[in-house]
Chains A and B, each alone.
Chain A
Amino acid sequence: MEDVPLADIRSAAAGDADASRRIVEALHRPVLATVHRFVGRRFAEDIEDIAQEVFLKIFKAIDRFDPDRGVKFTTWAFTFVKNHCFDVLKKRRLPTFSLGGEEDEAGTWELEDAGARKPGDTALNAELGQQIEAALQQLSPDHRMVFVLREFEQMDLKSIAGVMDCSEGTVKSRLHRAKEALKDKLRPYLQT
C-alpha cells in the first residue's frame, strides 16, 4: 500500500477539495476491503456508508497528522478504520468468537462440508469465499483485524502495531494464532 503524498495531505488539511479527492481515490479500495472483511457480509449494504464515515473522521482530523512523528499517513488513517470498525461491532452487537473454541451465545457459524474441493476448482469461487469469511468472523476482532491487515492488505508488522496500538510481538502472536485457527477451520479446503 503506497503512502499518500505529503503535499496532498497538507493541501487537504487546508481545505483543498482536489487534494481530498486524490486521497480518497488512493485509499478507498483498501479501506472498503478492510471494512468488508472485518465486519462481514452481514453489513454488505452498509459497508460503503461505514467507509464514508471513516473518511469523514480522517479528514476531520487530518490537520492533526504530524509526518515528523515517523508514522505513515496510511498507518495513521487505518487507525480510524480499525477504531470505527470496532465501534460498529460494539454498537450493533455482532457475535464474536474466541480462539479457544468458546462461542458467544449470540450464534454460531457452521462451515459447510467442503468434500474434495480444492482452491483451484472453478466451482469453488464465491462459495469458498463465504466459507473463508465465516471462518474469519469466528476470530476475535483483534485477531481478525491483524490478520486482514497483514494477509490481505500486506501491511508490515510495524504499521500493524501502530494501527492496533500494541507491540510488534503482540502482532506476531495474534497473527500466528489467527492463522492456526483459520487453518483449522478451513482444513477441509487445504488438502494439497
Chain B
Amino acid sequence: MSPSDHRPAQGTPDPAAEAFQALLRQHTTPDPSAGFVESTAVRIGMHQISAPEVSADFVDRVMDTLHTDALVGPRFDHPAPLPLATPWRARAPGIVAATLLAAAILIALWPSNQGMAGPLIDQQVFPSAGANTFNRTLSLIRPALSNSSSGDAEPILHMPPAPPLTADAGAMPPIEEQPAFRGQRRR
C-alpha cells in the first residue's frame, strides 16, 4: 500500500511531488491481526442465510394434494375461526342509534302539562288565537240561532245572544281601515 507513483509527463523529475510521495510513504498502517480473515469468514458464514433448496417434485406434490382434497375433501378439519374482536369504533353507529331511539321513546312517554303548554304556544305563534277561536265558534252557532222559532236565543255559555239576522244583515258597514303595507299611507 504505497502511495501512487506520480511521474512527470515529460520524464523530468518533480522534486516537490517526489518529496510529497516520499512523505506519504511514511504513513503506514498496522498489519491485520492473525485471525482477522478467519474470524471475518466465520462471521460471514453465520450471517449468510441460505434457504434450503426446493426438491424437484415439490410442485407436483402440492398439486396432487390439492387435487385429492378437491375430490374427497380436506383430510383434516380446520378449527372454526375465532370471532374477530369488534373495535369500539365500529360499534359507535349502533350505540348512537340506540341512544336516539331511547331518547325518542322517553320524550314520547313523558307526561306533558297541556294547560301550560297550549296557551304558551298559541300566544307565541298565534297572538290573537283567543279572539279568532271565539269568532269561529260564533260563526258556527249563528245559523242555529237564526233558525230558532222564538227568535230569542238563549244565552250560550253565558255570552250575550247574537243579534237577529235581518235582510240587511249582509250590508256590512264599510271597512274603514284596510291593512296597509309598509311605507303605504293608511286611508
Contacts and interface: CB of A to CB of B under 8 A. Distances in A.
Interface in A109-136: 119-120, 124-125, 128-129, 132-133, 136
B32 A179 contact: no
B41 interface: yes
Tell me if B's interface is mostly helix, strand, loop or mixed. helix
B24 A152 contact: yes
Contacts, number: 101
Give the residue among A24, A128, A154, A189 with the most B Cβ atoms within 10 A.
A24
A20 B32 CA distance: 18
Nearest to A14: B50
A186 B40 CA distance: 36
Interface residues of B, number: 31
B30 A21 contact: no
Interface string A128-168: 11001100100000000000001111100000000000000
A17 interface: yes
B118 interface: no
Contacts of A86: none
Interface residues of A, number: 43
A37 B32 CA distance: 14
Contacts of A125: 26
Contact of A24 (B19, B22, B28, B37): B37
Contacts of B23: 119, 128, 132, 186, 189-190
14 contacts: A15-B48, A20-B45, A21-B37, A25-B37, A33-B1, A48-B33, A56-B43, A119-B23, A119-B25, A132-B23, A151-B4, A152-B2, A189-B23, A192-B18
Interface of B: 1-4, 15-16, 18-20, 22-30, 32-33, 36-37, 39-41, 43-45, 47-48, 50
